[in-house]
Chains A and B, each alone.
Chain A
Amino acid sequence: MPRTTESAQHPADTDTAGLRSRVRDLLAAHDPATTPRDTFLRARFDAGLAWVHFPEGLGGLGAPRALQSVVDAELEAAGAPDNDPRRIGIGLGMAAPTILKYGTEEQKQRFLRPLWTGEEVWCQLFSEPGAGSDLAALATRAVRDGDSEDAGWTVDGQKVWTSQAHLARWAILIARTDPDAPKHRGISYFVCDMTDPGVEVRPLRQITGEAEFNEVFLTGVRIPDSHRLGAVGEGWKVAQTTLNNERVAIGGGRIPREGGMIGKAAATWRERPELRTHDLHQRLLGLWVEAEAARLAAVRLGQQLTAGHPGPEGAGIKLAFARLAQEISGLEVELLADEGLTYQDWTMTRPQHVNFTGRDAGYRYLRAKGNSIEGGTSEVLLNIVAERVLGLPAEPRTDKDVPWKELAR
């Protein structure tokens, strides 16, 4: 693949001024008004301006991560196209950091550029019907095709809650390679080709009526050994990198008051005086205060990250967000009285983007139920806070040192 030599012109110059100068060079060489989107994004990647904290040659410059906002703001101001990060969030947020940490040089060169430009969409084949919070109990099998060191793998099993699977070119996949080992030690991590004939993707319809997610059935799927990430049996460790990067979107301290679900309820309250009751008023004010406090906590977390002092508060933000989204949307259904008894449309659709504050109050109420389940249930997150932040002891466990095949399922 062609690489520009722009990074060589500014060897150590990765401070704010240096980055601005690189952005100017990029814009000068590739006018966003006339350059096709993919071409511009490839050039941006090659200039090291895709994710500045990545290494040189892989879309970055080894610069501090906090400086990415400088690049993004400059390019946005110049009207440059972005890579539609919401569409490729799994790739950017989860697959990329894992490939960077555990991938071979060949894997990094092959996968990262089209991942970042969005030419190749990624999905995540982790959760299974029998392995949700207890992900390490997963039962999808990967069996070696023969005894040689670099023999490929055949994969059979079922994955679930896979967003973007119907659009994805690649998947990050964890599968059991040694059922005789204790559950955390018998897993390996792969890159799975979603165009393999053994991959079947079916929409998974949810309580809102639509299908954001998929079930993925894997039947005799072939994976070459060169698409394994990390050592055989080390998949759980590799997966921790993926899961630790499942990030909460915190926007650099610019989160407006009433920006989320509370804004919807407050707007209805202001526009519809005939719906107001004293009980709803008390509850709305209480939730408004809690939403504002949670917003300030998110702003504060953003300020900590910007100042280079990330704290453990991220887990707290997700927990608070989920509970408030549920309570506020529930209040809104009640506030709307007769109108709250109706629902816009139950037709099964496949939304490109999920919008938690979109559609009507009934949709918001139902979709918010997922907020305390997806990306770690609130119950598991409370355990994580208790053990990792507060340092409380773990519960005694019976599943850690037993061969996986002997566990109750």
Chain B
Amino acid sequence: MTERTAEPENPEQAGPDLLYSEAEEDLRAAVRSLLAARCDPADLVLRTESAEPYDPALWKSLGADMGAAGLLVPEELGGQGASAREAAVVLEELGRAVAPAPYLTSAVIAAEALLGSGAAADGETGRLLAGLAAGRNTAALALPWSTAPGAPLATTVRAAADGALTGRVTGVADAAHADVLLVPAAGPDGPGLYAVDREAAGVTVTPRVPLDLTRPLADAALDGAPARLVAGPDEAEAAVRRALLAGAGLLASEQLGIAEWCLAETVRYLRERHQFNRPVGSFQALKHRLARIWLELVSARAAARAAADALATGSQDGPVAVAVAQAYCSPVAVHAAEECVQLHGGIGMTWEHPAHLYLKRAKADATALGTAGRHREALAGLVDLPAPAG
């Protein structure tokens, strides 16, 4: 699934492949067609206030039947053996549909955390990973959703010698619906990553009221909850950092999808909407604003593809590519969603129109996995542009 479209005639071409392969375009078409049939924006607005913000049937079709949940997991561990490039395409489509599915949290971040913990096919970690890859189960990394890849890892949870976890983690994305929580905790021998069943004794998961209605948040309180060590002091921190880096890098593709929908929908509306006996979209002041969004999308796509390619190839440049993608794509998605609301006029301010779902997702995504500012600060160190002394 990783065939490249680059022209073989040009062997000296270096750097990331920023295009989409045919296989990637096929995957996109399949996901888009599923979402078009099963994730209508009007239904989404209704679902956000129902008891079930997630659509389990949609997740089964996407994650299990289509195999998207296992894209990042090698075949010998029960996955599809694809790469971050394909996962990025899925996330573009999920962003475009602002779909309420635990793809980023479970199929990307939790799966990467387990892969970084040395999951083996015959071990318990491997079985957990296989369950995620098959779309049978979901897991959430128990860290506040705002945690950046380079942030110091808070240890608000302690593990006893028998693995029992005690402590509290706030603002965990998708925790309320996950089967398993992957909890970074301070253990007797140092930092560790632990797996705990959400329904186990001593686990209390309390949903928060989220700004982004399509990605639920919850607090997890652990009181002697029985857990299993997944990664010990030698691996735990690297596994968590790997998971957050992949999450941040691929979040850029979700943000690209959000911005694409906002631009396309706004253009469509402004061609139809008439005021002053003209299509509103013929006013130059508005055309320039839409053209600027398109311009930002061109660069956002390149930055998001560069991050996905760097993650897929394990490039040394990964941390730079991810920081650039997050620092660039976060404000682009917010800008596109804000313009979408403004240029729709009154209808854009209503609960009925789906524009607010995109605005809320875009604004929450801009904080998720590190703000643009945090990623710029990370670049200061990565590309040698140091802050002033003192």
Contacts and interface: CB of A to CB of B under 8 A. Distances in A.
Interface of A: 16, 66-67, 69-70, 73, 252-254, 266, 269-270, 273, 276-278, 281-282, 284-286, 288-290, 292-294, 296-297, 299-300, 303-304, 306-308, 313, 316-317, 319-320, 379, 382-383, 385-387, 389-396
Given A281-B385, A285-B380, 8 more contacts: A254-B15, A266-B383, A289-B324, A293-B299, A306-B9, A316-B294, A392-B271, A393-B282
B7 A392 contact: no
A285 B282 contact: no
B388 interface: yes
B239 interface: no
A320 B290 CA distance: 15
Q: Report whether over half of chain B's contact residues are helix, strand or loop; otherwise say mixed.
A: helix
Interface string B294-327: 1100111111011000000000000000001001
A392 B287 contact: yes
Most A-side CB within 10 Å, residue of B10, B18, B288, B300: B10
Contacts of B267: 390-392
Interface in B273-288: 278-279, 281-284, 287-288
A313 B294 CA distance: 9
A250 to B, nearest CB: 13
B376 A316 contact: no
Nearest to A253: B13
Task: Report, nearest first, the 3 A-B pairs whose CB atoms are least far apart.
Answer: A386-B287, A296-B302, A276-B388
Contact of A288 (B6, B279, B379): B379
A286 B330 CA distance: 13
B295 A319 contact: yes
A392 B328 contact: no
B43 interface: no
Contacts of B303: 292-293, 296
B122 interface: no
Given A270-B385, A306-B6, A396-B278, A389 B294 contact: yes
B324 A254 contact: no
Contacts of A282: 376
Most B-side CB within 10 Å, residue of A70, A289, A317: A289
B3 interface: no
A313 B290 contact: no
B377 A285 contact: yes
Contact of A394 (B282, B305, B379): B282
7 contacts: A254-B14, A285-B385, A297-B299, A299-B15, A320-B298, A387-B287, A392-B290
A289 B303 CA distance: 10
Contacts of A308: 7
Most B-side CB within 10 Å, residue of A288, A293, A303, A393: A293
A193 B302 CA distance: 45
A286 B372 CA distance: 9
B17 interface: yes
Interface residues of B, number: 52
B377 to A, nearest CB: 7
B302 A300 contact: yes
A293 to B, nearest CB: 4
Contacts of A273: 386, 388-389
Interface string B12-40: 11111111000000000000000000000
B14 A253 contact: yes
A286 B19 CA distance: 25
Given A281-B385, A300-B302, A393-B279, A66 B295 contact: no
Nearest to A294: B299
Interface string B336-364: 00000000000000000000000000000
A385 B294 contact: yes
B324 A285 contact: no
Nearest to A255: B15
A315 to B, nearest CB: 9
A293 B6 CA distance: 20
A281 B377 CA distance: 9
Given A67-B9, A392-B281, A394-B282, A296 B18 contact: yes
A301 to B, nearest CB: 8
A307 B324 contact: no
Contacts of A303: 5-6, 13, 17-19
A304 B19 CA distance: 7
Most B-side CB within 10 Å, residue of A73, A269, A393: A393
B270 interface: yes
B357 to A, nearest CB: 23
A259 B7 CA distance: 24
B388 A390 contact: no
B136 interface: no
Interface in B186-230: none
Given A297-B299, A392-B290, A393-B279, A16 B385 contact: no
Given A293-B303, A304-B19, A313-B298, A382 B13 contact: no
A108 to B, nearest CB: 29
Interface string B142-166: 0000000000000000000000000
A67 to B, nearest CB: 7
A203 to B, nearest CB: 35
Given A390-B291, A393-B282, A395-B282, A293 B305 contact: no
Most B-side CB within 10 Å, residue of A252, A317, A385, A390: A390
B57 interface: no
A161 to B, nearest CB: 24
B312 to A, nearest CB: 15
Contacts of A391: 267, 271
A333 to B, nearest CB: 18
B378 to A, nearest CB: 10
B42 interface: no
A379 B6 contact: no
A314 B6 CA distance: 19
Contact of B12 (A254, A278, A285): A254
Nearest to B6: A303
Nearest to B387: A281
B388 A281 contact: yes
B49 interface: no
B271 A393 contact: yes
